[in-house]
Chain A
Amino acid sequence: MSDTEQRVTAIPALKHSNESQDVSQHFNFAYLDERTKRMIRRAILKAVAVPGYQVPFGSREMPLPYGWGTGGIQVTASVIGPNDILKVIDQGSDDTVNAVNIRRFFQRTTNVEITTHTQAATLIQTRHRIPEMPLRQDQVIIYQVPVPEPMQRLEPRERETRSLHGLAEYGLMHVKLYEDVSRYGHIATTYDYPVLVNHRYVMAPSPIPKFDNPKMHMNPALQLFGAGREKRIYAVPPYTAVESLGFEDYPFEVQQWEAPCEICGSRSSFLDEVITDDSGGRIFVCSDSDYCQSRQSSAEQNLPAQPSDQRNGK
């Protein structure tokens, strides 16, 4: 072990106020050591080989707390290269504090190019939304997952849920959906809506609104899911079937809004509700900030509407 003095000064100064430190002196590229990256990549490969199956992995303590995206960060850190272009969003926006924090982390530890434009990114790390712009084959989207086990609220024991997945015993999930219909007249899950991947594994898509579920189906991009605290990685390879659970007579349905986005006029994107005055006045605006801005600027330049406007496919 190096002597105390030297070690103390060599501690990576996660002191945020002085971020002009030369990154290469203190961190490996993308922070994780190479052995850890290798371990995570192996887990990713396993996950891609068995779509929707939760692969356990040796999640490391990261400089952000468990529960704040460490799984997504570890996955991104393991796949990112110096030529990647990274976009980080939370709730659809590039500017929310969590997204900003994570983006800064990667800027400090990789120096890769950063973008807010979905179409320009090669890697997109996201919390709770899928971008409105359709993704391409050369892109990878990485989801932050709080609870990877779709049945956890019904059966907290991991030993038991492991068996259920292994035997494809998903009766319990459907019991929950049945109860919703009998109690409320419709399925009462609005986000983290469970899906069947590749006709085999039931998967938790992370707390994206169910509005986004159809985007997962046959997506040309690679979709990776990281749960740091629960220590699981899973994946949906490109062009894989992803079907939201439901009943034949009570099928899966997406949310609809009556009003368009107040700023760009979109009628096909997920809208956030914003309270504008004390008397409860409300407007609705696109959750995906990049999408909204692109539409705004193309409208200003009188460019044709983006193709995704027609899309809200099943």
Chain B
Amino acid sequence: MYVAVKGGEQAILSSYQLLDRQRRGDQTVPELSIAQIRQQMKLAVDRVMTEGSVFDPELAALAIKQACGDLVEAIFLLRAYRATLPRLGSTKPIDTSKMVLDRRISATFKDLPGGQVLGPTYDYTQRLLDFSLLERTEDVPLAIAATANNSTIAATTDVPRVIDLLNQEGLIETHPAPELDVSPFDLTRQPVRFPADRSTRLQNLARGDEGFLLAMAYSTQRGYANSHPFVGEIRLGSVAIELVPDELGFAISIGDIEITECQMINQFAGSKTEPPQFTRGYGLAFGHSERKAMAMSLVDRALRAQELGETVQSPAQMPEFVLSHSDSLEASGFVQHLKLPHYVDFQSELELVRKMRSGAEGTEASQDDSDVEHE
């Protein structure tokens, strides 16, 4: 006698228990602390903050711990937390020219005011597994970088932006903020509608999945649209966040955040009346996230194709394509939702296919003498 499947609740509870065990792993091994993740997995924390759209290294570290290191899952946790937080106000735009710099490089000039400061980067390392890290169990004093090139630049006013340097000659396009500068569209409160303006696109890209943006950016370098990019400048450091509370009427600093900014210089454009200028792409991310900021800047530039009179031929240039598929939560959710029961829909399809096949077999079908008719 067939009995309907029950026990969904119990199955879920068991699944939770298994998940807790998976997260904890071998209990003889010390448990990870949030502080350890925050300190020693900084780049993971930075990515989770960027795509989670919340600057809070502690919460990001917690999310990473809870998600067993699955960064997309951690980003989801952070976003879900953020979604219902009350809005206290809007900050003033950050001023990256006042950044306290840890790293600053430009590919367009050999040397420039402020210098090329390498800072902490994997760029000049050799990717050889360091087995000494396997054994390190107690603190080993780390060498303090002594050369001038690696010291933090204290005086921020000595470091003009490359863009501003090019601007002095009028070589690069500029978009001065309009007189009546209205607040930008908030993508986290309203859905994107097409055509989307640049500010909305940039918001979407900032929150977008790094892997997706990287692939889109890469495609523009391989012939799927091309804008001859050069890294004008990459900056890494901290900037002050300022707020103008209604009660005070003037700006106060509420803290510092670390950000990575990429200014990409691209294909010049001009017309009969306007002399040619370089065009730009822009990327911005929380923490130290160069790959993300650079990919974002290439995609930003590609999405400006129509505005700059270029033929739209490749996916990276199509706003609806890029912006609809950039969000890792949406992508992961929908792809993985295929695991959910779909047997009712499948039942319908199964029936249809059987019907069509028996129709195709013609009169042979009536020879079948299965016990169960399911026409």
Do A and B contact each other directly (Cβ–Cβ < 8 Å)? yes
A285 to B20, CA, bound (A): 36
Q: Answer yes or no: A23 CB below 8 A from chain B CBs.
A: no
Determine the main DSSP class of A at the interface with B: loop
The reply to whether A66 and B80 contact each other, CB–CB distance below 8 Å, is no
Of the candidate stretches A44-52, A171-179, A258-266, the one touching chain B is A258-266
Contact B79 A61, beta carbon cutoff 8 Å: yes
B341 touching A191, Cβ below 8 Å: no
Among B6, B9, B188, B344, residue most surrounded by chain A Cβ atoms (within 10 Å): B344
Bound Cα distance from A68 to B255, whole angstroms? 37
Q: Are A100 and B9 in contact, with the CB atoms below 8 A?
A: yes
Docked Cα-Cα span, A102 to B335, in Å, equals: 19
Q: Confirm or deny: B296 has a beta carbon within 8 angstroms of a beta carbon on chain A.
A: no
Whether a CB of chain B sits under 8 angstroms from the CB of A159 is yes
Q: Is the CB of B329 within 8 A of A263?
A: no
B79 CB to closest chain A CB (Å) equals 4
Query: Is the Cβ of A273 less than 8 Å from the Cβ of B8?
Result: no
Does A136 have its Cβ within 8 Å of any Cβ on chain B?
no
Q: Please report the C-alpha to C-alpha distance between residue A256 and residue B254 in the assembled complex, in whole angstroms.
A: 67
- Inter-chain CA distance A65–B72, complex, in Å, is 11
Tell me whether A259 and B330 are in contact (CB under 8 A).
Answer: no
Shortest beta-carbon distance from A260 to chain B in Å: 12
Whether A61 lies near B329 (C-beta < 8 A) is yes
Q: Mark B335-373, 1 if CB is under 8 A from A, else 0.
A: 111001111110111111000100100000000000111
Across the interface, which residues of B come within 8 angstroms of A256, CB to CB? 375
Cβ A184 vs Cβ B356 within 8 A:
yes
Given known pairs A100-B9, A129-B344, A262-B2, the reply for A65 and B329 (CB within 8 Å) is yes
User: Are B347 and A273 interface neighbours, CB within 8 A?
Assistant: yes
Q: Chain B's nearest CB lies how many Å from the CB of A21? A: 15
Q: Does A57 contact B (CB under 8 A)?
A: yes
A274-293 contacts to B, CB under 8 A, are: 274, 276, 281-285, 287, 289, 292
Q: Is A72 close to B, CB under 8 A?
A: no
Cβ of A302 within 8 Å of any chain B Cβ, yes or no, is no
- List chain A residues, Cβ under 8 A from B351: 190, 255
Complex formed: what's the CA distance from A292 to B80 in Å?
A: 37
In the complex, A231 has a CB within 8 A of chain B: yes
By the criterion CB–CB under 8 Å, are B189 and A58 in contact? yes
Is A95 in contact with chain B by the CB < 8 A criterion?
Answer: yes
C-beta contact mask, A21-46 vs B, less than 8 Å → 1, else 0?
00000001001110010010000000
Q: Which residue of A lies closest to B57 (CB)?
A: A4
Contact A282 B84 (CB under 8 A): no
Is the CB of B121 closer than 8 A to any CB of chain A?
no
Q: Is A128 an interface residue (CB 8 A)?
A: yes
A61-B79, A158-B320, A191-B344 as given contacts; A100 in contact with B375, CB under 8 Å = no
Residues of chain A with a CB closer than 8 A to B334's CB: 66-67, 146, 229
Nearest residue in B to A159 (C-beta to C-beta)? B194
Contact call B82/A33, Cβ cutoff below 8 A: no
Q: Please tell me if B83 contacts chain A, counting CB pairs below 8 Å.
A: yes
Chain A window 120-131, contacts with chain B (Cβ cutoff 8 Å), 1 for yes, 0 for no? 000000011100
A104 to B330, CA, bound (A): 23
Question: Once the chains bind, are A58 and B83 in contact (CB under 8 Å)?
Answer: no
Residue B193 is within 8 A (CB to CB) of chain A in the complex: yes
> Are B2 and A285 interface neighbours, CB within 8 A?
yes
Residues of B within 8 A of A16 (CB): 16
Chain A 72-101 near chain B by CB (<8 Å), digits 1 or 0: 000000000000000000111001111111
Contact indicator A32/B84 (Cβ below 8 Å): yes
B286 at the interface (CB under 8 A from A): no
Contact B345 A259 (CB under 8 A): no
A90 vs B342: C-alpha distance when bound (angstroms): 9
Q: Are B344 and A92 in contact (CB under 8 A)?
A: yes
Asked whether A258 lies within 8 Å of B193 as measured between CB atoms, the reply is: no
Which chain B residues in 62-93 approach chain A with CB under 8 Å?
A: 62, 76-77, 79-84, 86
Select which of B84, B340, B343, B374 is within 8 A of A60 by beta carbon: B84
Contacting pair A185 B359 (CB below 8 A): yes
The residue that A17 contacts in the complex, of B17, B195, B324, B375, with Cβ under 8 A, is: B17
Q: At the interface, yes or no: A210 with Cβ under 8 Å from chain B?
A: yes
> Known: A17-B20, A65-B332, A65-B333. Is A273-B12 also a contact (CB below 8 A)?
no
Say whether, besides A8-B62, A67-B330, A255 and B348 are in contact (CB < 8 Å). yes
Whether a CB of chain B sits under 8 angstroms from the CB of A209 is yes
Contact B333 A67 (CB under 8 A): yes
Q: Are B359 and A62 touching (Cβ within 8 A)?
A: no
Instruction: Determine whether the beta carbon of B372 is less than 8 Å from that of A190.
Output: no
Set of chain A residues within 8 Å of B20, measured between Cβ atoms: 17
Bound-complex Cα distance A284 to B2 (A): 10
Complex interface: chain B residues within 8 A of A4 (CB): 58
Q: Give, as a whole number of angstroms, the nearest-CB distance from A181 to chain B.
A: 13
Are A285 and B4 in contact, with the CB atoms below 8 A?
Answer: yes
Q: Smallest distance from the beta carbon of B254 to chain A beta carbons, Å?
A: 8
A residues bordering B, Cβ < 8 Å?
1, 4, 7-8, 11-12, 14, 16-17, 28, 31-33, 36, 39, 56-63, 65-68, 70, 90-92, 95-101, 104, 127-129, 146, 156-159, 184-185, 188, 190-192, 207, 209-211, 229, 231-232, 255-259, 262-263, 270, 272-274, 276, 281-285, 287, 289, 292
Known: A60-B84, A100-B8. 6 other contacts (CB 8 A): A11-B62, A36-B84, A57-B191, A96-B8, A209-B348, A276-B2
- Can you list 29 pairs linking A and B with CB atoms under 8 Å apart? A4-B58, A8-B58, A8-B62, A14-B80, A32-B84, A65-B333, A65-B336, A65-B337, A66-B332, A67-B336, A95-B7, A95-B9, A96-B341, A97-B8, A98-B341, A100-B12, A156-B320, A159-B195, A184-B356, A190-B348, A207-B344, A210-B348, A229-B334, A258-B373, A258-B375, A262-B2, A263-B2, A283-B372, A284-B374
